[in-house]
Structure 1
Amino acid sequence: MVTQIIQSATGFLMYFTVAFVISPMMTVLALLGAG
């Protein structure tokens, strides 16, 4: 039970980190492409 919760939390944190890192990168790339 605890292991399942930890795995869920880890997966959520990984997903959140990826989204948090990729969003600004995509925005910067879009601005550079437009500029």
Structure 2
Amino acid sequence: LGYLNNPDDNKLIESTEYQENIAKSIASALKEYFQQ
């Protein structure tokens, strides 16, 4: 993740590709957790 007050992080966080990667990572982690 990143910090919204950091211009470089903010630009990255706003990108669709970054948001999709984060969402997929969270979904994957939750799926793995609940399959235990």
TM-score interval (norm. to shorter): 0.5 to 0.7
- Distance in 2, Cα, partners of 1:11 & 1:18: 11
Structure with greater proportional helix content: 1
The share of aligned pairs that are identical, in percent, is: 9
What root-mean-square deviation, in Å, do the aligned CA atoms of Structure 1 and Structure 2 show?
A: 0.3
User: Which one has more relative contact order, counting CA pairs under 8 Å at least 6 apart?
Assistant: 2
TM-score, scaled relative to structure 2: 0.60
What per-residue deviation string (whole Å, max 9, x for no partner) do you get for residues 1-35 of structure 1? 0000000000000000000001xxxxxxxxxxxxx
Q: TM-score, normalised by structure 1?
A: 0.61
Question: Unpaired segments of 5 or more residues in structure 1?
Answer: 23-35
User: How far apart in 1 are the matches of 2:28 and 2:17?
Assistant: 16
